[in-house]
Structures are given as C-alpha cells and as structure tokens.
C-alpha cells in the first residue's frame, strides 16, 4: 500500500530513515571506543547517574526522518526535471548533499570546537554512509 504526501512515498521515507538509523548503530557500535576517545567522553559520562538517556536516540531517529524526507523531495524535483529516479541518482544525490553540506559543516564545527581530526573522520563517515544508504533506498523504491 502506497502512502503519499505531496507526491512523496511515506513508506520509502520511513524505510530510508530506518536503514540510516540501523547503519548508525552498526557504525558507532563498531567504532565506539575510538569515537569516545576522539570526543573526549567516558562511559560514565555517557551513561550518567540514571543510565543512558533514550532522548539522543529519539532525536536521531526524528532527524533521520527529516533527512530522508528532504532527500526524497530533492529526488522528486529531479524527477520532475526529467532525471530518472534510480539507485544511482539516489547515491549521487546523497553523496552531493554529504559533500556540500554535511562534511563542510562538520569540518567547520569540529575545527572551532578544537576537536580531533579522528572525530571528524568518524562522524563524517557515518553521515556519508547514512546519505548513501538513504539515497539508495529512496532511489530503489522510486517515486510514485
């Protein structure tokens, strides 16, 4: 069953968000020690007095929904301009967004925050993976 909102597939958006969220869990699960060291965090600080908070995960998933929605919107605009929506189109669009907006933002923010280059590498690698996965899912799913 296809649920649509302004020509966008809500099912495709949700699936892309879930895929990006799962990737993040795998990425940071594999690089948790390196990420904590690069960010200057300890397990005690992350867990806090009452255990780890679910709030960052809720915010992350909501952000993934917004990202997938915006990426789907861009793909819709491309399709209306005559560019066929495909996995390739999704990958190229996801990479372009990552390179032009996400990577540049992380580099600037981490420089002013005086963060280690390793943190920028880990975080930007995560967002590259998210954008490529979301782009591929949305490209494969297509637009109605």
Q: Could you report the per-residue pLDDT of 48-65, keeping only the tens digit for each?
A: 767 778 999 999 999 999
For position 1, what pLDDT does the model report?
43
The pLDDT value recorded for residue 49 is: 65
Asked if 134 and 17 touch (Cβ cutoff 8 Å), the reply is: yes
Q: How many Cβ atoms sit within 10 Å of the Cβ of residue 105?
A: 12
The lowest-confidence range among 1-5, 114-118, 140-144 is 1-5
The domain ranges of the chain are: 4-141
pLDDT score of 5: 58
| pTM listed for this prediction | 0.91
pLDDT in tens, 66-117: 999 999 999 999 998 999 999 999 999 999 999 999 999 999 999 999 999 9
Mapped onto helix, strand or coil, the DSSP state of residue 95 is helix
pLDDT of residue 129: 98
**Long-range pairs for 73-78: beta carbons < 8 A, 24 or more residues apart:** 73/8, 75/135, 75/138, 75/139, 75/143, 76/7, 76/8, 76/143
């Amino acid at each position: 069953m296809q649920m649509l909102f302004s020509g966008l597939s809500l099912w495709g958006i949700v699936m892309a968000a879930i895929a990006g969220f799962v990737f993040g869990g795998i990425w940071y699960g594999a690089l948790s020690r390196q990420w904590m060291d690069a960010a200057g965090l300890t397990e005690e600080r992350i867990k806090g007095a009452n255990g780890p908070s679910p709030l960052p995960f809720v915010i992350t998933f909501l952000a993934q929904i917004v990202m997938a929605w915006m990426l789907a919107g861009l793909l819709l605009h491309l399709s209306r301009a005559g560019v066929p929506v495909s996995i390739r189109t999704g990958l190229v669009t996801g990479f372009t967004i990552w390179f032009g907006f996400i990577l540049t933002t992380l580099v600037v923010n981490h420089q002013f925050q005086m963060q280690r280059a390793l943190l920028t590498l880990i975080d930007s690698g995560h967002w590259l993976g998210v954008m490529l996965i979301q782009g591929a899912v949305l490209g494969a799913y297509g637009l109605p």
